[in-house]
């Protein structure tokens, strides 16, 4: 099984978001990196009407010699949209941050897939 590193996602420091003036980074898709988890876990998808547009998923990667697993929430069409949700979730996930979702992370049947393809 191929390995990927955490560098697959371009990280942005919390709070840097839309205020950074980086116009290139404004168009998504983006994900929220919520927290590290001890290993891959099955995640039930939300039933709440406010959350059904999102996918919750885990990724695995290598940071140095250590395998890391992260819980993610996606996908957001703009960095500003992701930053809004980040502020809402900050109390529950204090170490959460926004990053660009690479094309490999976007399911083909998701609305932001075409956006990601246009960025290639």
Let me know: does 32 contact 72? Beta carbons within 8 Å: yes
Tens digits of residue pLDDT in 2-22: 333 333 333 333 333 333 445
Rounded to two decimals, the pTM is 0.65
pLDDT band at 61 (very low <50, low <70, confident <90, very high): confident
- Strand pairing partners for 52? none
Where are the domains positioned within the chain? 1-8+30-40+51-120
Cβ count within 10 A of residue 6: 16
Quick one: CA dihedral 95, 44, 69, 84, positive or negative? Answer: negative
Q: Highest-confidence range of 14-23, 61-70, 78-87, 111-120, by mean pLDDT?
A: 78-87
Q: 26-58, pLDDT tens digit by residue?
A: 888 999 999 999 988 899 999 999 999 999 999
Nearest to 84 by CA among 46, 49, 32, 35: 32
């Amino acid at each position: 099984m191929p390995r990927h590193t955490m560098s697959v996602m371009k990280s942005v420091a919390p709070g840097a978001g839309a205020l950074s003036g980086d116009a290139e980074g404004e168009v998504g898709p983006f994900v929220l990196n919520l927290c590290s988890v001890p290993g891959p876990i099955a995640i039930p998808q939300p039933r709440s009407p406010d959350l059904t547009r999102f996918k919750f998923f885990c990724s695995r990667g290598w940071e140095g010699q250590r395998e890391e697993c992260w819980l993610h929430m996606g996908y957001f069409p703009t960095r500003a949209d992701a930053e809004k949700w980040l502020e809402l979730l900050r109390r529950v996930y204090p170490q959460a941050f926004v990053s660009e979702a690479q094309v490999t992370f976007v399911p083909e049947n998701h609305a932001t897939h075409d956006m990601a393809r246009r960025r290639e």
